[in-house]
């Protein structure tokens, strides 16, 4: 069973790992719950191009 690397789920019998990323307080005026980012591309928009655009060694 692999260990979690972010410290959220320590392996049984092992102490939790420290976080590797620094957590800081948000800047004044930051929105604590920003709206989600809009969809940039339609589902399957590039599928046909990806099927045609193959490297030469793929045959």
Residue whose C-alpha is closest to residue 19's, from 8, 11, 28, 30: 8
pLDDT at 53: 83
Q: What is the pLDDT along the chain (59 residues), one digit of tens a residue?
A: 444 445 556 667 777 777 788 888 889 998 888 888 888 878 888 888 888 887 778 76
Is 8 in a helix, a strand, or coil? coil
Q: Report the C-alpha gap between 25 and 32 in whole angstroms.
A: 11
pLDDT at 51: 82
């Amino acid at each position: 069973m692999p260990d979690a690397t972010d410290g959220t789920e320590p392996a049984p019998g092992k102490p939790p790992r420290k976080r590797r990323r620094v957590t800081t307080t948000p800047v004044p005026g930051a929105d604590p719950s920003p709206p989600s980012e809009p969809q940039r591309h339609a589902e399957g928009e590039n599928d046909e191009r990806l099927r045609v655009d193959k490297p030469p060694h793929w045959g």
